[in-house]
Structure 1
Amino acid sequence: MLRLISGRVVTSLISLVGASLIAFVLLRLTPGDPARLFLGQFAGEEAVQALRAELGLNGSILSQYLIYMQRFLMGDWGFSYSTGQSVAGLLLARFPATVELGLFAFLFAFVAAVACALVAVYRRGPISDSGARAASFFAQGVPPFWFGLMMLLIFFEGFGWLPGPEGRLGLRIIPPPTVTGLLTVDSLLAGDWAAFRDAIRHLILPAITLGLMPFGFLYRLLRANLEGVTREPFITVARGRGLTRWAAYVRHALPNAFLPTLTAAGLLFGQLLAGSVLVERVFVWPGAGALVTDGVLKQDFSVVQAFILLSAFIYVITSLIVDILAAMLDPRIAQSQGGGR
């Protein structure tokens, strides 16, 4: 197990360095001068060159990258050229909204995939199976921003059942005191049930929109695993001991089919946090996505680079945790990697 963990840590560090280096180089190769953008088109050349030297933009790309990473690891994430504010302050203020949206989107995708896969395999009827399969294909093929707009047209404009693109809370709701930055958690800690209900209502449409594609992928993977597990002899043995077919599927087939899905689920959760940019735009969600899109348009390198590093860090750490959990649940994984010796 220790050998498995150490190997995963090394590969995780390599992945982080590679992701940060590629992002840094690609952003630096885009047209435009950050110093000129920050000072304006009427600034003198001497002022522009002085700012370039202060920001470390005159050296080679490799030297710029090393300077940036050194500052980043020391907690200096730079400042936003477009706002003049600290990048760390901007991202830390907005990242909880992105995390909360990603958590609820993942919860929707996981619960819906498990329920649909169980029903499809248990009933094995043409209607239930074809309906769930069609839903999974639709989920993986539809563009999230288009689906989000359709959801707003139907449930906000059409029926008026759910709130529209107005952020995380309604205008008449007073936000709870900030503890975690997650409104649902903070409202529960404060005992503010009105804020909790309103935060949940505002999360429904963007969470379903963001979790639609992961739902389609998890459903197809979990259904295929369930199909194989339900044919194993131990399911017949469980039925022979008096369990109903549904109980045998839920208690024995689902846990065994879930293990291969665990890795994919963990990686999808990491992708949700990094891939929420367009969904946040559609629903005017005050997360890090809107900040990053503005940074891309304005060539605000510090904001974009910090977000990419945070996303890569979350993705790699999630992958590492999932690998360790999978090895703990199935010792054969650790033995195959040499961790059992």
Structure 2
Amino acid sequence: MISELFGRRRAKPNRGAIRGWLSTFVGVAATLFGLLLATFLIGRTIPIDPVVAIVGDRATPDVVARVRADLGLDRPLLEQFWIYLRHLAHGDLGTSVMTSRSVVEDVLHFFPATLELATTAIVIAVLIGVPLGVISASRQGSPLDNAVRIVSLAGQSTPVFVLGLLALLVFYVKFGIAPGIGQQDMGFQGAVPERTGALIIDAALDGQWDAFRDGLAHLVLPSLVLAYVSFSTITRMTRTFMLDALNGEFIVTARAKGLSASRVLWRHAFLNVAGRLVMVIVLAYAGLLEGAVLTETVFGWPGLGLYLTQSLMNADMNAVLGATLVIGGIYITLNQLADMAYRILDPRAKS
């Protein structure tokens, strides 16, 4: 008894789990380093001179050379990369030429608007897409199932910027039932104090309900366009997972026990696919944060995507690389969270 007790105390941790977590850590670190290297090389190889963007194309050669030396762009590429990593370790992404502020400040200012848009879109996509996918699978081959498949396929086949332009053309230009581009009307510009960075939340916290309704009206159309893209993926994957589950032996057993159709569908089949579905939703959310660049550009939404586009047009490479790095880092992080959620929610997943 005592030997068993001490034997349990001396039991070594699960080596497979340790190897799994170590492998995950190494994979994330390698991916982040690859992202850093890729963004750095892109910034140094594209035919845009950041020095000219700073001093202008009429500056004298002496001024251009001095600024290039101050920025360290006259040094070997390997040394430039080391300086880049050293600054990044201190949270320094450089200064934006376009805004004359640090890129970190700009990211903190613009990212909440992107988060507001993407979060609204994923909530809409999940609330509509998951039930439709489940019902479509339960009625395989029915007119409803065929309609859901066609709508989902159209959403995955059409570029998001085309959807955005069509939505503006129909609902803003043709029928006039949606507001124009931007996050709010001109009359509300600067009226809402910035607390969280999300306009409708800040307006609600400040009790400015007119500004809240205006912000919500501007949020509807771009969020619906983004939601349609994610809705298509979530609906199709939900339907696929549910069809696989409904053909399982445990469903036959549940039906043989006399359980109701709704209980078999939601309690047994749906819960069986929840782990995989959460992974799909998290990855879809990461894709929204990444793909909001085109949507924000079309709708003039003042988020990180529009900031990235305008920075690229102004040859503001510090801002371009900083925003790209942030978006890539978020995508990698959410990818790992999705994997962890899948392992926790699905007992069949190996650690």
Which one-letter code corresponds to 1:280 in the other structure?
E
Tell me which residue corresponds to 1:169: 184
1:188-222 CA-to-partner distances (Å, cap 9, x unmatched) read: 43344443333322222111212322222222211
User: Match of 1:311?
Assistant: 327
Query: Which string of whole-angstrom CA distances, capped at 9 and with x for unpartnered residues, describes residues 47-84 of structure 1?
Result: 11111111111122222122112112212211112343
SS of structure 2 residue aligned to 1:276 = helix
Task: Give, in whole Å, the separation in 2 of the partners of 1:248 and 1:331.
Answer: 20
1:323 aligns with 2:339: yes
Match of 1:47 among 63, 79, 91: 63
- Aligned counterpart, 1:223: 239
Following the alignment from structure 1 to structure 2, what is the Cα–Cα distance between the partners of residues 271 and 155? 25
Amino acid at match of 1:274: E
Residue 135 (structure 1) aligns with: 151
Partner of 2:86: 70
Gaps of 5+ in 1: none
Correspondence 1:296 to 2:296? no
Aligned in 2, Cα 1:43/1:65: closer, same or farther, shift over 3 Å? same
The reply on whether 1:233 has 2:249 as its aligned counterpart is yes
1:149-164 equivalences under 5 Å are: 149-164=165-180
Distance 2:302 2:140 in 1: 43
**Distance in 2 of aligned mates of 1:311 and 1:181:** 17
Does 2:41 match 1:25?
yes
| 1:281 aligned onto 2:302 | no
Deviates more, 1:152-161 or 1:275-284: 152-161
Percent identical:
33
- Counterpart of 1:112 in structure 2 is 128
**Residue from 255, 260, 266 that aligns with 1:244:** 260
**Higher mean C-alpha displacement, 117-126 vs 308-317:** 117-126
Corresponding residue pairs, total: 334
Does the Cα contact within 8 Å between 2:275 and 2:341 map onto a contact in 1? no
Deviations 1:297-336 (A, max 9, x none): 2321100111111111111111121122211222442xx3
2:258 & 2:125 partners in 1: Cα distance?
A: 32
Contact 1:34 1:299 (C-alpha < 8 Å) held by counterparts: yes
**CA distance in 1 between partners of 2:59 and 2:214 (Å):** 47
Give the distance between the partners of 2:128 and 2:240, measured in 1 at CA. Answer: 16
CA distance in 2, matches of 1:6, 1:107: 33
Q: Compute the displacement of 1:138 (Å).
A: 0.5
Contact 1:281 1:290 in 2 (8 A): yes
Distance 1:185 1:12 in 2: 33
Change in 2 beyond 3 A, CA 1:290/1:134: same
Matching residue within 197, 203, 206 for 1:181: 197
- Cα distance in 1 for partners of 2:34, 2:151 equals 36
Would you say the 8 A contact 2:274–2:345 is kept in 1?
no
CA–CA distance in structure 2, aligned partners of residues 154 and 77 of structure 1: 41
| Residue 182 of structure 1: how far off its partner (Å) | 1.5
Shift of 1:261: 2.7
CA RMSD of aligned residues (A): 2.1
1:3 is displaced (CA, Å) by: 4.3
AA in 2 matched with 1:157: V
Partners of 1:298 and 1:261 in 2: CA distance: 41
Structure 1 window deviating more from structure 2 (7-16 vs 127-136): it is 7-16
Q: How far is 1:271 from its partner?
A: 2.0
Q: Does the Cα contact within 8 Å between 1:5 and 1:324 map onto a contact in 2? A: no
Instruction: Give the TM-score normalised by structure 2.
Output: 0.88
Separation (CA, whole Å) in 2 of partners of 1:117 and 1:89? 41
The separation in 2 between residues aligned to 1:57 and 1:212, in whole angstroms, is 44
Q: 1:11 matched to which residue of 2?
A: 27
Aligned position for 2:77: 61
* Structure 2 equivalent of residue 37 of structure 1: 53
Taking the aligned partners of 2:122 and 2:201, their CA distance within structure 1 comes to 16
